[in-house]
Amino acid sequence: MSWDFNEIKCASKNVSDVLGSDNYRPEQTQCPICHTFLKRDHILWHKQVTFSTGVKKLVSWAYRCPRVTCPGSQDIFKSRQAETLHLKYRRFSRELVVRIGYQRFWRHQTMYEIHDWLTQDLHLVICAREVANLIIDFLALLSAAQPARIRDRLSRLPGLIISIDGMQPEKGNDCLYIVREIQCGVTLLAANLVDSSQEALCTQLFAPLKDLAQELGKPWHGVVSDAQETIRLAVAQSLNRVPHQACQSHCLRDAGKLTFEADRAMKKEIKTSFRQALPRLRKRIQALPNGDPFQPVLLDYTAALRSVLPEGGVAPFELGGLRVFEMLEDLESSAIRCQKKGITSCCAG
């Protein structure tokens, strides 16, 4: 028998892959029929899964009853815990999908804000397009988890008020439309549309929505959306005479865009000037003679300065630059007070 070098290399790589991973075995240890201890049979699946803490290799092992004469010897046993960690055919963990859904629908972050959070705060490798896919996955998980409860909540409403929002990761690409019932916060529909024309919206969004309203026996009470022209025309065509209001959040975001951009530019300027000066300042303080009573206080001030700088903002009202500016002013007046009182009382406070 001859050995192929590549085959050996490949086999040893597989073994080391398995050894360096999180291995999962079934929670059940005995055969339910003959009570013999189950034996490891083969790898059911193995893959790299991205969690909010980083990428992990997961291996799920299939176990079987080793007694050939047992009627249950063909049954496969697997880990339930491993199944709850991932979604089939996906490389992102359920935990991460749920966290993304939370940022989108409970904290009302845009797809780009979520993308910044994933790449800058969690240091994950992911493109904006993928964030849209994960939001769809979240909605699928959500609707699979509570169909009966959703129907019950909708059936208690006097009428439906919906919000429509479209998210497009890149111009010219598919657009993800999400329709929610505002009064009970339930997502009614999520659709990925290649075409965002009035006709497409009428047939692919509003036709199924009208069917749903008919099925529930509920009248339409209102629609809220941004000012996208095709949505306005499609609402007028499909839901004739139903009140349609422009979303205040979108209007305020648009109105505050210039202020927010100016604030961001100011924050960047402040950060750059401080980032250059801080290391020099710290070096000078550290060079003070040993036992200098001012040294620990001044070092505390530089630490406070450093912690103020990463403060961020959320459009349209939370202006990060202004907040950094105010915090720096507070630090300045504190330092001046400290200088006036003298080091003894400052240390006591």
* Coil, helix or strand at residue 342: coil
Residue (72 or 256) nearer to Zn ion, CB = 72
Residue owning tokens 């999400």: 178
Tell which one of 33, 207, 277, 314 touches Zn ion (CB under 5 A): 33
Q: Smallest gap, in angstroms, from Cβ of residue 142 to Zn ion?
A: 39
Structural tokens at position 182: 């505002």
- The site that binds Zn ion (CB under 5 A) totals a number of residues, namely 7
- Could you say which DSSP state residue 122 is in? S
Spell out the residues 6+ positions from residue 290 whose beta carbon is closer than 8 angstroms to its own: none
Minimum CB–partner distance for residue 224 and Zn ion (Å): 59
Nearer CB in complex with Zn ion: 31/131 = 31
Q: Which two tokens stand for residue 331?
A: 């630090």
Q: How far is it, in rounded angstroms, from Cα 119 to Cα 66? A: 47
The Cα 269–Cα 266 span in angstroms is: 5
Between 67 and 210, CB nearer to Zn ion: 67
**Pattern 111-130, binding to Zn ion, x per CB under 5 A?**
--------------------
Q: Measured from the CB of residue 89, what is the shortest distance to Zn ion in angstroms?
A: 32
**Shortest Å distance, C-beta 61 to Zn ion:** 18
Rounded Cα distance between 94 and 134, Å, is 10
Strand pairing report for 22-24 and 175-181: unpaired
CB of 44 to Zn ion, least distance (A): 19
For strands 22-24 and 54-64, give the pairing: parallel
Q: How far is the CB of 75 from Zn ion (least distance, A)?
A: 8
Q: Which two tokens stand for residue 101?
A: 């859904």
Under the binding rule (CB under 5 A), the answer on residue 208 touching Zn ion is no
Sheet holding 160-167, edge to edge: 186-193, 175-181, 160-167, 220-225, 244-246
With a CB cutoff of 8 Å and minimum separation 6, the contacts of 338 are 297, 346
CB of 41 vs Zn ion, minimal distance in Å: 13
Binding to Zn ion by residue 31, rule CB under 5 A? yes
Binding range to Zn ion, per CB under 5 A, among 10-18, 28-36, 194-202, 269-277: 28-36
Among 48, 82, 47, smallest CA distance to 62 is for 82
Contacts with Zn ion, 45-84, as mask; x by CB under 5 A: --------------------x-x--x-x------------
From the list 34-42, 152-160, 233-241, 260-268, the region that binds Zn ion by CB under 5 A is: 34-42
Binding site for Zn ion (CB under 5 A): 31, 33-34, 65, 67, 70, 72
